[in-house]
Amino acid sequence: MYIACVFNKKFLPHAATMLCSLLENNKNVKCIFILCDNTIQNKQINLLKNFIKQYGVETNFYFVDNSRFKLFPTTAEFPLIVYYIILLPEYLPKKIDKVLYLDSDIIIRKPLSSLWNTDIEKYALAAVRDIGDVGDYFNRLKIPKNKKYFNSGLLLINLSKWRDKNLHTKILNYIRENSEMIIFPDQDALNAVLYNDWIELPLTYNVQDSAFYDPCYKIRYAEIINDPHIVHFTERIKPWKYLSENPFKNEYIRYRQITPWKYKIPEDFSLSIYLKKLVKKLIKILSQKDYIFSNNIGKKILIIFSIILEERESKNLNNLKKEKEREIIEKLKILTPELKVINGPFKDIKYSKLKSICSTLAPKLLGTYEAELHDIIEGICKTKYSVIINIGCAEGYYAVGFAKRFPEAKIYAFDIDDEALNLCYENAIINRVNDRIILGKYFSLEKINEIKFNGDGLIFSDCEGAERYYFYKDTENWKTLVDKFDLLIEVHEGYVPGTTKYLIDLFSETHIIKKILSVDDLLRPYIFDCKFLENIDREEKIKLMSEERAYQILWLFMVRKSK
């Protein structure tokens, strides 16, 4: 396996960490090719060579002349070295026909033999799709809308094809001629020229930061992002920074400690220690007029005090929230001591405990939860569904509710939260429907063909922004979906803009679509029937019925036209 990477003096410690993680987990690396600029001293080069030599691997360094990149766009985040990737076919020995390029800000956690053996004979490269915000690259780079955009942090490059087709020259020329269109320098140019000449690799080989924070990816790719082959630290707050929250930060530090460039920030570093050091510096410079506001120290002071104020404000808000929750819990104990749902389509189902996952508890026990859907649900309950799939079942309000209303149906309930599944199971038992509720952690469209049933099916989905990743056109699975299932989907447009249009376009040919909008919390006591709360004043009703949504929600109820 041949490896290539590029870096300068600033990124040397991180490149060493990346190579350490690679070599610790891969014993089949033959040679590492490094393209760098003249900022790295011979002493540092020898130090890295000797470190890599411990693993029995050869290292070849190539110094690149930056003058050939004159007027190429750069930023503090993207220096000239990012363009060195394009020169790999030119610098690497002609006998090498394939190379695996790796960015410096990644760690490799597993063997990469399967990746290396990917057949790219017909393609310029293999890569993983970029899952961050890359803007409107279709129009910006003139790429057809049916083509994907890859991340350049990991590239399996077919050097032979690059040389035969002179691709590196074409890419460099593209940059010269379109510099004003480029935002992500090397990556934009590679995609613009090679959009039709690459094969997609599984996400596990380049899990970018967006996967850890975007609910769509957290849900659909949970198994991958929890144990990936490669982690790519794509955000600006890198794992070597104190404020980084990447879940694999500690793994980066562990590999870094093996290298000669050890991680020097102490483990007990805290804001209080930082403040003490800063105060000592301030004591020395207070006598200098206007110094604080003309120096970076002033900025640091402002940042620190803003952090303190934010933490203080956050603490106060948390205390208020806990107090409000306590008041509501006490009220619920009076209103429904047996923890039975008081009203609505799922009246009389029981909760095993005063606990709700990812939503407010009181509206569920009152039976006013998502009252906007009550008429729809009553209509659903008059339809003979033999199977109901609940994606994002939480503690089981709908899964258990539907199981009670459909005594002959099988209910499949999915949720990536273990606590949610445990609570759902408890609530299924206490309501004596556990024999008809099948629990699962990860839903995928493929599962609908694994379910054997006769008759109609319903999918009830509340998956926190992952709608477009669960519903898409393929072959066999798509046909089963549109032939057999009606759907009620809570659309999280606030999480993933464009989802509403995506779903409507997706199902408009096969389903009749009804749109339902959520009602503001202040209006809920006036719009929905809550006579059972007639002895409670208006403010108290608002508190109890509040669903605390961050933005207005849209539901799409979609019934097959063929019915």
Task: Please report whether residue 266 resides in a domain.
Answer: no
Dist. CA 92–CA 4, nearest whole Å:
9
- Tell me the residue type at 298: G
Are 144 and 287 part of one and the same domain?
A: no
Task: Please report whether residue 263 resides in a domain.
Answer: no
Distance, C-alpha 534 to centroid of its chain: 44
Are 187 and 288 part of one and the same domain?
A: no
> For position 356, what pLDDT does the model report?
92
Rounded (5°) CA angle 175-61-207: 60
* Residue 128, domain CATH: 3.90.550.10
Are 383 and 469 part of one and the same domain?
A: yes
> For position 301, what pLDDT does the model report?
60
Dist. CA 129–CA 362, nearest whole Å:
42
> For position 447, what pLDDT does the model report?
86
- Which range has highest mean pLDDT (43-47, 289-293, 532-536)? 43-47
Reduced 3-state DSSP string for 304-336: HHHHHHHHHHHHHHHHHHHHHHHHHHHHHHHHC
Mean pLDDT value across the chain: 86
- Top pLDDT among 225 and 437 is at 437
Are 344 and 325 part of one and the same domain?
A: no
> For position 291, what pLDDT does the model report?
46
Task: Please report whether residue 210 resides in a domain.
Answer: yes
* Residue 447, domain CATH: 3.40.50.150
CB 431 within 8 A of CB 401: no
Which residue, of 231, 258, 285, is where some domain finishes? 258
Rounded CA Rg of the chain: 29
Dist. CA 405–CA 380, nearest whole Å:
10
CB 100 within 8 A of CB 92: no
Are 291 and 246 part of one and the same domain?
A: no
Dist. CA 317–CA 325, nearest whole Å:
12
Dist. CA 170–CA 189, nearest whole Å:
9
Q: Computed from CA positions of residues 352, 354, 358, 363, in that sequence, does the dihedral angle turn out positive or negative?
A: positive
Distance, C-alpha 24 to centroid of its chain: 27
Task: Please report whether residue 265 resides in a domain.
Answer: no
In the chain, what are the helix, strand and coil shares in percent, each to the nearest 5? 45, 15, 40
Are 193 and 68 part of one and the same domain?
A: yes
Task: Please report whether residue 242 resides in a domain.
Answer: yes
CB 150 within 8 A of CB 101: no
Number of structural domains found in the chain? 3
Are 350 and 431 part of one and the same domain?
A: yes
Are 322 and 351 part of one and the same domain?
A: no
Q: What is the pLDDT of residues 435-453, one digit of tens each?
A: 999 999 888 888 888 888 8
Nearest CA to 438 out of 399, 380, 480, 383 is that of 399
Are 110 and 229 part of one and the same domain?
A: yes
Which residue, of 224, 258, 292, is where some domain finishes? 258
Are 319 and 449 part of one and the same domain?
A: no
Task: Please report whether residue 395 resides in a domain.
Answer: yes
Task: Please report whether residue 156 resides in a domain.
Answer: yes
Are 331 and 342 part of one and the same domain?
A: no
Q: Domain of 309?
A: 277-335
Task: Please report whether residue 146 resides in a domain.
Answer: yes
Q: What is the pLDDT of residues 36-78, one digit of tens each?
A: 988 888 999 999 999 999 999 999 999 998 888 877 877 667 7
Q: How far is CA 408 from CA 354, 387, 391, 433, in A?
A: 28, 9, 20, 11
Are 85 and 176 part of one and the same domain?
A: yes
